[in-house]
Amino acid sequence: MNHPFKTSAIALCALLTAACNTTTPSKEKTPEENNLRVVTWNIEHLAAKNTEGCKPRSNEELTELQAYAKSLKADVIAFQEVGSIKALETVLDKDQWQFIISNRKDSPSYTCRGNGLTSTQQKVAFAVRKSLVVEQVVQHRQFSDLKMGLRNALEVQLNYRGETLSLLNVHLKSGCFVDDYRRSDKDSCKLLAKQIPLLDKWVEDKSQANAPFIVLGDFNHRLSAPYNRFSRDLYHPNGLANNAPNDVTKASFFNANLMLTGCHPYYPAPIDHILVSNTLASNYVQNSAQFHYFDNMEPKQMLSDHCALSLDLK
């Protein structure tokens, strides 16, 4: 006797068994997911204990910092104003990141303006995804040896597409916001005038070696203006520009955020920059440079006084 229900049940079981035994194909990454995202962020006095230093944070604000950092989807973050490795661990998961910090000698603490607390250290640091290979770390103490309190430049060399990619994290002397730093008698400009040749030499040495590089960080200077003396010095291929015209076509790098407006409501001209060597031009994802705004952009409510700035490499 024929049993249609029994036959249908057997067929259904066979179909389900086949479906369960079928291996689900792994989802391939999109080109965007394979990009390398590099970020610079002055996080403003990040301390190991969020209640200390010139920018104390509530537990809620610390949670917001963690969420913001995660939203950057970064592979490498160059930080400025970090107190210690422990401070970085309050924002990023140490199981996913490797941390590298400036070895500059601690500078004397001072009383913070506004809250009367004691300052913590302001150092540059890198957070690099553990999936990336750090080949070498170079501490450039010549930037900080000029005077107590100045910051090191910190270089990490990564393996990128089978070759070495050098990233230099800088936090230069603040207070010299003029078009021509060499025409100012301000002490801050005199110190900056000693740091600029050091940076210029690093850029020129990498360029002459045809080595891919990125300089990123808080330059404390508005490099976007074509008449800016600092930018002219960097663009000039041999030493400082002196009286030479600003010929960007001869530069060995480009400023990825040249056309961007800074995120801070009071300071539209950015002082955070990412300079990319021409050897990486074909890898740079066009127009990928962006500032990452906070949910609350009221100046007194911002998570830090600088927004993170990022770009993508293919």
What CATH number did the domain enclosing 149 receive? 3.60.10.10
More confident position, 50 or 2: 50
Query: Does 20 fall in a domain?
Result: no
Which structural domain range is residue 80 located in? 37-313
Query: Does 28 fall in a domain?
Result: no
CB 99 within 8 A of CB 126: yes
Q: Which of 11-20, 122-131, 211-220, 238-247 shows the lowest mean pLDDT across its residues?
A: 11-20
Query: Does 2 fall in a domain?
Result: no
Query: Does 64 fall in a domain?
Result: yes
Using the predicted structure, report yes or no on whether residue 10 has a pLDDT greater than 60.
Answer: no
Query: Does 225 fall in a domain?
Result: yes
Query: Does 5 fall in a domain?
Result: no
Residue range 110-161, pLDDT digits in tens: 999 988 999 999 999 999 999 999 999 999 999 999 999 999 999 999 999 8
Query: Does 199 fall in a domain?
Result: yes
List CB contacts of 136: < 8 A, sequence separation 6 or more. Answer: 156, 157
Give the neighbor-by-neighbor strand order of the sheet with 163-171. Answer: 134-140, 153-160, 163-171, 213-218, 272-277, 253-255
Q: How far apart are CA 219 and CA 270, in angstroms?
A: 9
- Rounded to 10 degrees, the C-alpha dihedral 141/143/145/151 comes to -90
Query: Does 160 fall in a domain?
Result: yes
Give the distance, in angstroms, between the CA of residue 293 and the centroid of all CA atoms in the same chain: 15
pLDDT value of position 268: 94
Q: How far apart are CA 306 and CA 284, in angstroms?
A: 23
pLDDT value of position 250: 77
pTM, entire model: 0.89
Number of domains making up the chain: 1
Average pLDDT of every residue of the chain: 90
Helix (H, G, I), strand (E, B) or coil at 166: strand
> Residue 8 — very low, low, confident or very high, per pLDDT cuts 50/70/90?
very low
